[in-house]
A and B are shown apart, each in its own frame.
Chain A
């Protein structure tokens, strides 16, 4: 027997869930769980952490459902929640991690500024699946700060100011991190492409 909630809109499901209907909330989870998990995974680069944080995000979503006014889509609202949880977790991890000289150099962009401009376009001539896999591998190699700023800007379409607020840093820091992250991505993609050709 088909679930009657399968045909309901997100708005109707949210309204029911706000009244305490757990089944409606479960349907919302089922619809958007991949998106929320994918964002957690893209930021944490770890399946277990992504699962844990995405589930925490749904718990928070349930608890704060009363605050959801519908200014953005429900999926966007949930994605913002998981992003905040990931940022908190990355901050905790950073506090624990001893900062190496290499990490400090990367943060300041010392290496990236010395790199020649990558030309031609390293993404050119690659199959879509192959390019995606390469981008994914390159993202793995970025520092947490650089990867996060790229994700928030390119995938979440956030403005500099919004990113600065979320990452608890200045707009200038966001601009420099984004710049170094892009330059490093270009170098990584070009390097990966060369590897493939040899």
Chain B
């Protein structure tokens, strides 16, 4: 018998043949003793397996088996890379230096030309001996303080070094050493 026919007989047994071919195989098995014997052998094995799968049980106790799974779950969880920064965080990282530069430019503008009206809202004006102006950019959430040294004939201040700009990441200020 050809392999092709043997496989078709088996496919018929497994109900995997389309109706027309299934009918052909049914007739073949009814008229060909060799085909019928082969079919019987395949059927016997199919039935024997179907009804007699060996039952096996886990050779470990429930707590021990679970503890190993639990440990693997925890290990896997610790190996997973931490999720990257959120889009808001990434945007903030991009915008923070830009906002800083903008604030610095504004501060310099005010420092170099104190008579110019700042475009930002002044929230305080304090200190004696220094002219101090604090500005707040609400949209960027940044405060910056500008110190101006009021010209005085003081000996201590006469030799004071020039103002230095400090950037701490969220606010900008000039200070006198």
**B binding-site residues for A, Cβ under 8 Å:** 3, 6-7, 10-11, 14, 16, 34, 37-38, 40-42, 44-50, 52-60, 62, 65-66, 68-70, 72-73, 76
Contacts and interface: CB of A to CB of B under 8 A. Distances in A.
17 contacts: A26-B66, A29-B69, A30-B66, A41-B56, A42-B53, A47-B59, A51-B59, A55-B68, A117-B37, A117-B38, A121-B40, A123-B52, A132-B52, A182-B42, A183-B41, A186-B44, A189-B48
Interface string A93-109: 00000000000000000
A185 interface: yes
B41 A150 contact: no
A131 B54 CA distance: 9
Contact of A182 (B45, B62, B70): B45
B65 A178 contact: no
A15 interface: no
Contacts of B37: 117, 119
Nearest to A62: B73
Q: Which of B34, B58, B60, B70 has the most CB of A within 10 A?
A: B58
Contact of A29 (B11, B41, B66): B66
A54 interface: yes
Interface stretch (A31-39, A69-77, A78-86): A31-39
Contact of A123 (B44, B66, B70): B44
Contacts of A37: 56-58
A34 B57 contact: yes
Contacts of A90: none
The 9 closest A-B pairs by CB, nearest first: A123-B48, A154-B49, A121-B44, A38-B56, A136-B54, A117-B37, A37-B58, A182-B45, A58-B69
A68 interface: no
B52 A29 contact: no
Contacts of A58: 69
Nearest to A157: B50
B62 A30 contact: yes
Nearest to A179: B10
A186 B45 contact: yes
B72 A135 contact: no
Nearest to B39: A117
Contact of A132 (B54, B57, B66): B54
Contacts of A154: 46, 49-50
B37 to A, nearest CB: 4
Contacts of B45: 123, 182, 185-186, 189
B66 to A, nearest CB: 5
A118 B53 contact: no
A118 B46 CA distance: 14
